[in-house]
Amino acid sequence: MKYYIGIDLGGTNIVAGVVDENYKIVAKASTKTNLPRPEKKIADDMVKVSLEAVKNAGITIDDIQWVGVGTPGIANSEKGIIEYSCNLGFDNTPMKKYIQESIDKPVFIENDANAAAYGEFVAGAAKGAENAVCITLGTGVGGGIVIDGKIYSGSNFAGAEIGHMVIDTNGPQCTCGRKGCFEVFSSATGLIRMTNEAMEADKETVMHKITAERNGKVSARTSFDAMRMGDKTAKEVVDKFIKYLAVGITNTINIFQPDILCIGGGVCNEGDTLLLPVKELVKQEVYTKNSPKNTEIVIAKLGNDAGIIGAAFLGNAK
């Protein structure tokens, strides 16, 4: 049996997993990222949790084929350098070199959304496809593109920023500097913003009651839960969210025409309540609506494990 290490480097946690050749996570280990702090300290902890995961798996480092890292930001996969990550404070960080100083194995570095997309491609909702796009609806909107079985990251390793495609030039300001990005409407953050705006405008909506019962916190679930209770304002929020999500997905399909497009993130726990109306809107709008073969839209399967599994198999992704 062959084994691989996949590291999911996040702003809150560093998680390493030992993954076998059948894409099964055998063991994990994790620690807090504890930002801000020096990049070398973070790299040292990445090594530490990797070795802990190997120990937890009941194997030795000699059984490991290589190490893969999924990181936020621009990851130069050719040089093994994280060129820039604003959230982690990285600037041309030689992550491959840092890890290889302690683990003498091949090391592969990739953007975390690309790694997660590759995980879904090899072992999840996009398994069996030749071409796939994965969109993650989280704090922002992350994207990952796999073409002919290989990760597409562009000439400057910053490709697949699907979330920063403008879909409404009069829309809200995005953190990237543009207005009306896909991300400001279709991320969990965007859904929460639209929910708050609706609640401010309608003091009678049941969303106030739901929020009060949940320690006063509005979440991406609030509008969906209220909609199911028959609340008109909540339904307007959900309909708006789904409309913009369908626009972004339609644009993405029109550009790439993948076999499968999978969407992930916590809001996708809504299942068919989200998926079915999105698919119907995309079906009406997509350029190839009269084609006998169209992109299949599905919900991602691997959850938080996608990044670990995808990172573990980065050696096959280029």
Sheet with strand 81-85: strands edge to edge? 74-76, 81-85, 90-93
Question: What residue segments make up the domains of the chain, in order of their start?
Answer: 3-122+305-316, 129-299
Instruction: Return the half-sphere exposure (C-beta side, CA atoms, 13 A cut-off) of residue 233.
Output: 16
Best CA proximity match to 308, nearest among 10, 135, 70: 70
Query: What local confidence, expressed as pLDDT, does residue 215 receive?
Result: 92
Q: What SS3 class is residue 261? A: strand
Tokens of 252: 């993405």
Contacts (Cβ under 8 Å, ≥6 apart) of 192:
218, 219, 220, 222
**Chain centroid, CA 266 distance in Å:** 10
Query: What local confidence, expressed as pLDDT, does residue 139 receive?
Result: 87
Amino acid identity, residue 28?
A: K
Contacts (Cβ under 8 Å, ≥6 apart) of 14:
7, 8, 30, 31, 32, 33, 42, 45, 46, 49
Tokens of 100: 């290889």
Alpha-carbon gap, residue 250 to 246, rounded angstroms: 6
Look at the block and give the residue holding tokens 């994990």: 28
User: Do you know the residue count of the chain?
Assistant: 318
Q: Tell me which fold the domain 129-299 belongs to.
A: Nucleotidyltransferase; domain 5 (3.30.420)
Tell me the whole-structure pTM to 2 decimals.
0.91
Q: Compute the C-alpha angle 235/240/243, nearest 5°.
A: 120
Query: What local confidence, expressed as pLDDT, does residue 172 receive?
Result: 96
Task: Answer yes or no: same fold for 3-122+305-316 and 129-299.
Answer: yes
H/E element, 139: none
CB crowding 87-100: b at 16 or more within 10 Å, else e: ebebeebbbbebbb
Domain 3-122+305-316: assigned CATH number: 3.30.420.40
Q: Is residue 260 a contact partner of residue 126, using CB atoms and an 8 Å limit?
A: yes
Amino acid identity, residue 31?
A: T
Query: What local confidence, expressed as pLDDT, does residue 86 receive?
Result: 82
Look at the block and give the residue holding tokens 């839209």: 297
How far lies 308's CA from each of 20, 23, 35, 311, in Å?
A: 12, 10, 21, 5
Instruction: Return the half-sphere exposure (C-beta side, CA atoms, 13 A cut-off) of residue 240.
Output: 20
Query: What local confidence, expressed as pLDDT, does residue 317 receive?
Result: 86
Average pLDDT per consecutive 10 residues, the chain (318 residues; last block may be shorter) = 96 96 97 95 98 97 97 94 90 97 97 95 96 94 95 93 96 94 96 98 97 95 98 98 98 97 94 97 94 95 95 92
